[in-house]
Amino acid sequence: MPLKLYNYWRSTSSYRTRILLNLKGVPWEYVPVNIREGEQHGEAYRAISPNGFVPVLVDGDTIVRQTVLITEYLDQKFPDKPLVPTNAAGRTRVMEFLLSLTGDVQGRTQKRVRDYIEEHLSRDDLLRWFDFWSAEGLAILESLATEGRPAGRFFHGDKPGCCPLCLTPSSPTA
């Protein structure tokens, strides 16, 4: 039975996860959840994703939420072509970057935060908020990626790995 990815085409977290699945090279099925139409709040989807976020990976009876845990799950289940370095130091550095991107940065700019600001404050406040936290977030990620420790030609390693590729979906906001 192929893996199923519940996701939305314009969601950056979903886009990241599609890249990771394709890097891994395992077959997977696309299950659309239209978060612009509010499908993430429906009862059926909340049974899979209690917090109403995409993406969610379903592998038989196993439900995996959070992009970082999906990355971890794919590496555990399919150890060929590791997405994250297998040595402790490299792994810690890459995981720090991914957690900062998908938690600290994404958490401040995700749709429900933007919707709240626009509804309870104003569109101008929203634009200011988004510009400020996008710039701040990208600066933090840049400092993590360029910090003094050697990481190869790319961050992290000599080939473009999951960090630069996971950043790609954020490039329209850069």
**Residue 164 binds ligand GSH, judged by CB under 6 A:** no
Q: Distance between CA 15 and CA 43 in Å, rounded?
A: 24
Residue 58 touches ligand GSH, criterion: CB under 6 A: no
Look at the chain and count its residues: 174
On whether the CB atoms of residues 148 and 116 are closer than 8 A, the answer is: no
N-to-C CA span, the chain: 38
What is the token pair recorded at 54? 């995409």
Q: By CB under 6 A, which span of 103-111, 120-128, 136-144, 154-162 interacts with ligand GSH?
A: 103-111
* Amino acid identity for residue 119 in this structure: E
Order the strands of the 3-7 sheet from edge to edge.
28-32, 3-7, 56-59, 62-65
C-beta closer to ligand GSH: residue 12 or 18: 12
Taking CB under 6 A as the criterion, which residues in 15-34 touch ligand GSH?
Answer: none
Residues 6 or more apart in contact with residue 123 via CB below 8 angstroms: none
- Considering only 76-84, 87-95, 105-113, 150-158, which stretch makes contact with ligand GSH by CB under 6 A? 105-113
Rounded Cα distance, 115 and 93, in Å: 32
Q: Is 46 in the site for ligand GSH (CB under 6 A)?
A: no
Q: Does 170 bind ligand GSH (CB under 6 A)?
A: no
**Which position among 3, 20, 24, 40 is part of the footprint of ligand GSH (CB under 6 A)?**
40
Closer to ligand GSH by CB, 40 or 90: give it. 40
Interface with ligand GSH in residues 73-102 (CB under 6 A): 102
Q: Does the protein bind ligand GSH through residue 111 (CB under 6 A)?
A: yes
Note the residues at the interface with ligand GSH (CB under 6 A): 11-13, 35, 40, 52-54, 66-67, 102-103, 106, 110-112
